[in-house]
Amino acid sequence: MGKPIIAYSIEAALKSGLFEEVMVSTDDAEIAEIAEKYGAKIPFLRSKKNADDFSTTVDVLLEVVEEYEALGKKYNNICCIYPTAPFVTDIKLSEAFEKLSREKLDAVFPIIPFGYPIQRSYKIENNSLQFFFPEFEKSRSQDLEKAYHDAGQFYFANTAKLLVNKSIISNSTGGIIINEMEAQDIDTLEDWNLAEVKFKLMKKEIDQK
């Protein structure tokens, strides 16, 4: 759609006006250059330890907090926006931050309802379909508890609680519910194409308002 995908995340963060600093954590010179072009800062590069395929989001967040503290900067809250999240908007970020602050939560992130009850899900075992949860075989789908999954867009967290919990998930983590048209997991070319279709529809809707 005409710009590097990371640009949408940076622009949403800047437009929200929520942040004292919008930075990109990377070990890649090209990504750093693109990030700065769209208004983000690169106060330090990501360590090799946290730049491999096994590093977690929390590993990176903790490193960022530690690096800022080494520079003499401390922040009450931190938000990690994924670089592949073109559906993130300043409105969603503001909604999440408001919930985090109002309810005094440890963390908040967007979640999406599963389209069908996970209690009625199947697995393939010995070339045969088996229920994951046989006890729900005869349950009506409308009677089963709603389940949600992480939208994979961003995570707002109270910095002090993050340092203690070493996790986004705690007994005090909240979610903002979004729908399937507001997110797209991108792992394949087909996913990318679907994301572009959804993005065009979302942009059209915003332009018409």
Number of domains in the chain: 1
pLDDT digits (tens, 9 = 90+) for 130-164: 999 999 999 999 999 999 999 999 999 999 999 99
CATH number where 98 lies: 3.90.550.10
Q: What is the DSSP letter of 17?
A: T
Q: Is residue 137 part of a domain?
A: no
List the beta bridge partners of residue 122. Answer: 131
125 strand-pairing partners: 128
Q: Is residue 144 part of a domain?
A: no
Rounded mean pLDDT, 7-16? 97
